[in-house]
Chains A and B, each alone.
Chain A
């Protein structure tokens, strides 16, 4: 028993931090309807600034705490509200998730640029000395970190319960979750209520951040990402509603991890796989077993009808004459590009474009599941990795050609995706996003880190394994292969998009109630789109590995899945055209940034560019690139086809004859 308590009690401070973050997530969701994916980044930001001020600027701990937690953390929450989430229509679950995700990956990238010395060591404790044992409980020494965590969590929870249960602001916050606009009709200043909730939740994030920091010798964002997943799991069991359950599950998880750590043999696959996967197992358990999680985020805003409709794609909008010209220009571009790649293209740029082709295939898988299926999957890099890893395994163990192995890999990725689809068959929106990110994390920790890699080191792809001279450094065979694969994938996706399945998926996106009411089998559609998307991702992953001549776990990590999502929503997720733009945009920008001095950010700039680019998704859910294309198309049409009565005759009026939000600027053009 003493052993047991000796393992369990040190887990309580970790559990308290999980609980605190889970409570912050619940509070934000209850008041704003947003499951804040950026929460881990907010906690990391405060912890980083706090540690920096103490260690580098030698400020007193109290002053650093005031700046990093009391001032900065709520300010970040208010900025999120004012400039990001307030602009999102309440019913747009995907926009809320994408915005949070873009901040989750954007904030650490900004920090790494702003602070050249981004490695922070020995974060201090805010109250009690971590090195002093204050008392013993059941024989277990309790140090300053434990005392501080438990005390701060308890005080915060009591304050929160008082705020939510017994104050007028708390009552208004509970009213705002359904629709801020609705409580405004009752004379409540909804904006202020929601802003208050963001400030309080920001404060909690900052507090959790500085509480967790001293537990680690070095401040790393990955620890905060793990913290966030654990908090997601606790919040999910609470159906993002019940504070006591969130606290209980959070504390239990902290304790369980410590107990398992104590009893499982150190260094075994069990200890590494089970321990790192526990929060994800708990999260998946909540998603599968808790009925309330199935419909989470599916509630309709009573005032949703006042939101403008999603604008049609440029292709659907432009005049037939212009459409013909655009199509011809596309073919000309394709021919010029192909000829250039086969003849004069400098090697460095040929490599860039070759990578762009591979990325385009991976992005195409997101077009399938998000653009056509209307679901946000946060494990597309994982599915790509399944394809690549399977091809590599077959090549190294059975001597199978990498290309044939890639086809088997694509089939395997499709099977994994189908299994995931069945596991998440009742989940939509938020629940599905959480399930897919949990799957990505499990694959990262259990599969990719263990299967034939040495501590996560890449497996090399040899020219012999691929064959056909594809990896000949002076040849063009890879380009031909990648072009053919991309063309076939785009062709087939377009066929599906224009066919019955595409229409069924469109119906599901529009109204799942009506879709099932006319006879569309929603379960089958869900499974089918996951399977297709998995297969395409698997093919893309194999192609990418051949291009990189290595199967690298980092390329297929869960963080990269998030990067893929923010890249493709920036360019336009709805069409194969958007996927190709994302693929090429990503690699071209990456290459251009190599010309920028390294001290200005390097790869972090790329992440920042797309992370902040994805914020435009709020205003332009069709993608900022797609928006600009439509804008310029309409301008050109007005200019060139001015003799026609209504050049963009396809442009319909807004609902009830009003002007839709995407209508061209009347001041522009002929």
Chain B
């Protein structure tokens, strides 16, 4: 179990298992994320990182184990209710709303998070963005550097910008924990560096917890406080980045040979 001070755990995953057709994608995994803590979840392809993310966010139901957010059990809740509790997420494979502008992405997330979308408000023409909403959206757009592309339909943006849109959409809801799934996937070195800087700054400024799944280990080293390594559905090591990377089991998992 993680090195989180007692009573300070925000997200607690305990003994979670999920299998597909008899193959255990996640096998009795336990981990904790403290308030304001940034945890890197790394491991080779097929380690079960994204499956664990899907179990936490509600896209998949675990077969065993419990997941709590701030002491509240998440497993019985559908995905949208987990999001409303403050779980923000970005996806390994880009998930955006292509016909919407960047600004609308943020607005729709804000409304969904705070349950401000009501049919009667629409019918009475009370759904125009409030001053508070506009300010919040502008703030986040500025934070991730998308202000100049705010009115562009997302379908017209490149992959790097889409990654930023996903991040901004998650951040605008003031998540208590941000689950970022391979945010640098498909980005070049320059874009990855910029994204890492944004993530680090936002996480520290907002004081939110973050779980980062990432293959770019230099980005992980730069952004996270603690690293958890998974392989073949199980946690094989955890601790600070340097010590974890020096771990024999981790090196074997990554390099595929016994040293």
Contacts and interface: CB of A to CB of B under 8 A. Distances in A.
B226 to A, nearest CB: 25
Interface in A390-415: none
B155 A655 contact: yes
Most buried by A among B58, B121, B155: B155
B80 A502 contact: no
Interface string A467-500: 0000000000000000000000000100110111
Contact of B158 (A513, A522, A657, A660): A657
A522 B80 contact: yes
B192 interface: no
Most buried by A among B104, B122, B158, B170: B122
B158 A492 contact: no
B122 A496 contact: yes
Nearest to B170: A518
B136 interface: no
Given A309-B99, A499-B127, A500-B127, 12 more contacts: A309-B155, A312-B153, A495-B122, A495-B125, A496-B122, A498-B122, A500-B116, A515-B112, A516-B80, A518-B170, A652-B152, A652-B155
B210 to A, nearest CB: 16
A666 interface: no
9 interchain residue pairs of minimum CB distance: A499-B122, A510-B97, A500-B117, A652-B156, A309-B155, A499-B127, A519-B112, A514-B95, A519-B83
Nearest to B59: A513
A503 B58 CA distance: 22
B91 interface: yes
A656 interface: yes
Nearest to B57: A517
Contacts of A496: 119, 122-123
B153 A506 contact: no
A656 B83 contact: no
A519 B115 CA distance: 8
19 contacts: A310-B99, A499-B117, A501-B117, A509-B97, A513-B95, A514-B96, A515-B97, A517-B79, A519-B81, A519-B109, A519-B113, A519-B173, A520-B80, A522-B80, A652-B153, A654-B156, A656-B158, A656-B159, A657-B158
Contacts, number: 128
Interface in B74-116: 78-81, 83-84, 89, 91, 95-100, 104, 107-109, 111-113, 115-116
Contacts of A657: 158
B83 A510 contact: no
B187 interface: no
A657 B116 CA distance: 35
Contacts of A516: 58, 78-80, 83
A312 B151 CA distance: 13
A517 B127 contact: no
Nearest to A656: B158
Interface of B: 57-59, 78-81, 83-84, 89, 91, 95-100, 104, 107-109, 111-113, 115-119, 121-123, 125, 127, 152-153, 155-159, 166, 169-170, 173
Given A496-B123, A513-B59, A652-B153, A309 B108 contact: no
A511 interface: yes
A510 B89 CA distance: 16
Interface string A497-539: 0111111101101110111111111100000100000000000
A91 to B, nearest CB: 12
A60 interface: no
A653 B170 CA distance: 25
Contacts of B100: 503, 506-507, 510
A519 B122 contact: no
A654 B91 CA distance: 22
B156 A655 contact: yes
A555 to B, nearest CB: 29
B149 to A, nearest CB: 9
B24 to A, nearest CB: 21
> For chain A, which range describes its interface: under 10, 10 to 19, 20 to 34, or 35 or more residues?
35 or more
Nearest to B119: A501
B99 A510 contact: yes
Contact of A498 (B89, B127, B158): B127
Contacts of B173: 518-519
A465 to B, nearest CB: 30
B153 A309 contact: yes
A634 to B, nearest CB: 16
Contact of B91 (A501, A514, A528, A655): A514
B83 A518 contact: yes
Nearest to B152: A652
B122 A513 contact: no
B108 A518 contact: yes
Interface centre among B97, B113, B115 (most CB of A within 10 A): B97
Contacts of A520: 80, 108, 112
Contact of A507 (B79, B97, B127): B97
Contacts of A500: 108, 111, 116-118, 121-122, 127
Contacts of B58: 516
Contacts of B155: 309-310, 652, 655
Residue among A495, A500, A653 having the largest count of chain B Cβ atoms under 10 Å:
A500
Between A496, A515, A654, the greatest number of chain B beta carbons within 10 A of the residue's beta carbon is seen for: A515
A499 B119 CA distance: 8
Interface in A624-670: 652-657, 660
Contact of A517 (B89, B121, B125): B89
B122 A517 contact: no
Nearest to B157: A655
Contacts of A522: 80
Query: Which of A492, A502, A509, A517 has the most B CB atoms < 10 Å from its CB?
Result: A517
Given A312-B153, A503-B107, A511-B97, A518 B158 contact: no
Contacts of B123: 492, 495-496, 499
A539 to B, nearest CB: 15
Nearest to B108: A503
B99 A503 contact: no
B79 A509 contact: no
